[in-house]
Structure 1
C-alpha cells in the first residue's frame, strides 16, 4: 500500500472541526493507516473498524507515554504528569490493579442506585431553564449535569464545585479563548497545578474526616491494603472527575444538535420515548465526543495494512471514523434511531473500555429524555454552521456554546 501522508495542518482547521467526517471517509478509503506530518514526533491514524479494534487491544501499542522519549510531556506539557499518571495512561498489570480498585464504585447496581439523585439534578437544572424560553444549553445544562453528579460521587464539597469546574473548563477549551498560544499553554498549566494542589488537599481532608464518597473509599483501600500510593489517589481522583463529566457533557451537546438537525428522528423519539436507550447508542456512534482514542505509543516496530509504524511512534485510533465504517454499518452517515444496536467503539474497546459506561448512559438517557419532554418546540437558537465548537486541536469533539429556543 502506498503511504499517504496527511499534513497535521489539514486536521486543525475550522472546517474540519465543524465536520470531520468527509476527511475520515477519505482516509478510510485512501489511507486507512495514515502517517500524519508533524515536526514534533511521528504519528499515525487508524480509521477502519477492524484495524481500530485490533489496535485498541494490541499490547505492542502502549498507553504509558511517560516512557522512552517522554511523549506525554511533549504533548501535554510539563505539569501533566502530576494529574495524568493514572490507569488511563498505564498498561497491565498496573492498569489491571488500578482499575480493579476503582471499578467497585462503578458497578452497574451501584450506579443504578444513583438514578433518583441524577433525575433530581436534571430537574433542578431544567427548573431554572424552562421559564426562560431560551438557554445556552452547554453552560446551563450539558456541562453542569455530569459535573455535579461526579463531584457529589467523589465527595467534592458544594462550595468547591464552581472553582473546580472553572479549572476543568480552562483545560477543556484550550485553544479557543483568544489567548496567544503561549498564554493558552500557561493558563492550562496553571489550571493543572491548581487541580493537582486541590486534590492533594482534598485527599488530606478526607483522610482526616472520611465520608460516604468515592475518594474516602479509595483512601480506605490505600490504607487497608496498600493498593494505592498517595500520588495514585490524587491522579485517580482527577481522572474520575475529568472523565466523569467531560465526554458526557460533550456527548449531550452533540446529541441535541444531531436530533435538532434531523427533525424526523427527533419526532420519532418524541413519539416513541422507549427508543431512548438504543437512540443513545446510535447518537454516540453518529457523532461521539472523543474522535480519537487517547494516544498510544508503539513499543516496537509494527505493521498495519502494510504500513510500517516505527517503534516510538504515536498511534491514534480514530473512533469516530471507525464508527462510520461502511463495512460495519449500513449507510453509516445517516442518523437512524431504529438502527439495530451495532458494535460501535464509542465507549472504547478492550481493557480500556470506559469504566463509567453505566453512569454515562444513565445521565444521557435522563438528560436528553427530560430535555425533549420539558422543552416543547426545542430548536437551535443559531444556524448550525454558526455554532461555536471546540478547536480541532482539542482531543474532544464538542461545543463551546449551544444556544436553543423553546416554548416557555
Structure 2
C-alpha cells in the first residue's frame, strides 16, 4: 500500500538532489503513487512506477491546464506565458502544430553539419587547456548555440538567460526563483517586441510576425510562453544529456571502451544514457479534472500529480537490473522524453546533438578522464530537471 502521510522531499537535502534513486526505489517498493511535499510546491501526488507513469501521462482526465488545480491562483510555480506544456487539446494541438514542422527528423538532420561544426570548435578551444569544466566548456554551449541560432537569440544574451533559468527552477530557494522568472519574462517580452519590429530569418521572428493564418495567430501570452518553452526545452535537456551521459561513460570504463570500439552502438548508447540518467527528472504538474485512480490510489478532483520520469525509467518491473548502465541494453520504453501527446517535441534534436557530441568528444579526446571524485560532484536542485553543476575533466 502507498504511504498515507505526506513525505517531505525537501527534508532529504542535497543528498536527494545528488542521488534521488534510492528514495524513489524505496517509495516504489511500497506502491507506485505517493503523497509528497516540497518547500516550493506544497503537497502533491508523485507517480514512481513505469506502467502507472505511462497510464497517467495518457489519461485525459489529468489536465495540464492549471485552472483545473484546486488552488490554481496560488499554484503552478513560476510559469512564463502560456505554452504547450500548460495546455490541453484543442489549444495544445494548435500550439504544437505551429512548430512541429520545424522539429521533424528531416529538419533536424539538416542541422547536423552546423552541430558538428560547433562541436569541433568547442573541442578545438578545450584541448589546449588540458582540463576544463565540461558543462561550461562543451555540454552547455553546444545545444545553447544551436537553439539560439535557430530561434534568433543574440549571442551576448545567452549566459544571462541561462543563469535566470537555473535560478527559476531551484526548488530550495522559492523567492530567488520567483525573481529570476520575472527577469526572464521581461527579457522575452522585449525580445519578442524586437522581433516584431525587425524580423529576421529565425523561428521566433516567424512566430512573432504573425505569419500564421488568422485562426492560428498567437496571443501575447502564447507568444511569450512559446518563446520560453522553445528556448529552454531546446537546450536544457540536451545539455543535461551531454554532461550526465559523459559522466556515465567515464564511471563505466568497460562501456566507454565498447563504444569506442564499435560506433554502431552509438544510437543505442544514447538511449541507455537517456534511460539511466535522463535530463528530465519529473514532469510538470497534471491536475485531476475529476476523481481518478492511479495505481490503486484515489486522487481527488483538483489535486496535483507529478510523474517521475527518472523513477519510471529505473523500474525493475520494466528494466532488468535498472541501476546497471549497459549500452547494449534494449532501452526502448524509457520515459526520458515523457509519453503521450506531451512527448517532448525536441527529442529528435536532443538525440542528434547527443550522437554528434559524444562521437566528437570521444574520438578527439582519447585521454578524456574525470578530474574529480564522483561523490564530490553535485547536481542542480531542481525536482523537474536533472543536470550537473560541473563536470571537471582532463584530456590526458
Q: TM-score range by the shorter chain?
A: over 0.9
* One of 114, 118, 122 as aligned partner of 2:119: 122
- 1:16 and 2:16 correspond: yes
CA contact (8 A) 2:69 2:304 kept: no
Hey, what does 1:343 align to over in structure 2?
333
CA contact (8 A) 1:173 1:400 kept: no
- 1:379 and 2:348 correspond: no
CA contact (8 A) 2:27 2:34 kept: yes
CA contact (8 A) 2:282 2:383 kept: no
Hey, what does 1:52 align to over in structure 2?
53
CA contact (8 A) 1:285 1:320 kept: yes
Pairs within 5 Å for 1:143-292: 143-172=140-169, 175=172, 181=173, 185=175, 187-221=176-210, 224-227=213-216, 228-292=218-282
Instruction: Assess, with a 3 A threshold, how the Cα gap between structure 1 residues 199 and 305 changes in structure 2: closer, same or farther.
Output: closer
CA contact (8 A) 1:4 1:31 kept: no
Hey, what does 1:178 align to over in structure 2?
none
Pairs within 5 Å for 1:15-94: 15-37=15-37, 41-71=42-72, 73-76=74-77, 80-81=78-79, 83-94=80-91
Pairs within 5 Å for 1:385-396: 385-391=375-381, 393-396=382-385
Question: Shift of residue 4 of structure 1?
Answer: 4.5
Find the residue that maps to 1:388 and give its secondary structure. Answer: coil
How many residue pairs match? The answer is 394
Hey, what does 1:302 align to over in structure 2?
292
Instruction: Assess, with a 3 A threshold, how the Cα gap between structure 1 residues 9 and 25 changes in structure 2: closer, same or farther.
Output: closer
Alpha-carbon displacement from aligned partner over 1:49-75 (angstroms, at most 9, x marks no partner): 111110001111111124444447434
Distance 2:73 2:286 in 1: 10
Question: Shift of residue 37 of structure 1?
Answer: 4.9
* One of 314, 320, 328 as aligned partner of 1:330: 320
Instruction: Assess, with a 3 A threshold, how the Cα gap between structure 1 residues 152 and 173 changes in structure 2: closer, same or farther.
Output: farther
Hey, what does 1:100 align to over in structure 2?
97
Distance 2:37 2:105 in 1: 42
Find the residue that maps to 2:75 and give its secondary structure. Answer: helix
Distance 1:401 1:172 in 2: 17
Q: TM-score of the superposition, structure 2-length normalised?
A: 0.93
Q: TM-score of the superposition, structure 1-length normalised?
A: 0.90
Instruction: Assess, with a 3 A threshold, how the Cα gap between structure 1 residues 328 and 9 changes in structure 2: closer, same or farther.
Output: closer
Alpha-carbon displacement from aligned partner over 1:254-310 (angstroms, at most 9, x marks no partner): 111111111100111111122111100011101112111111111211112322111
Greater Cα offset, 290-299 or 97-106? 290-299
CA contact (8 A) 2:2 2:33 kept: no
Question: Shift of residue 226 of structure 1?
Answer: 4.2
Question: Shift of residue 192 of structure 1?
Answer: 2.2
Distance 2:243 2:153 in 1: 25
Alpha-carbon displacement from aligned partner over 1:45-104 (angstroms, at most 9, x marks no partner): 11111111100011111111244444474342xxx34x1421111111110110001111
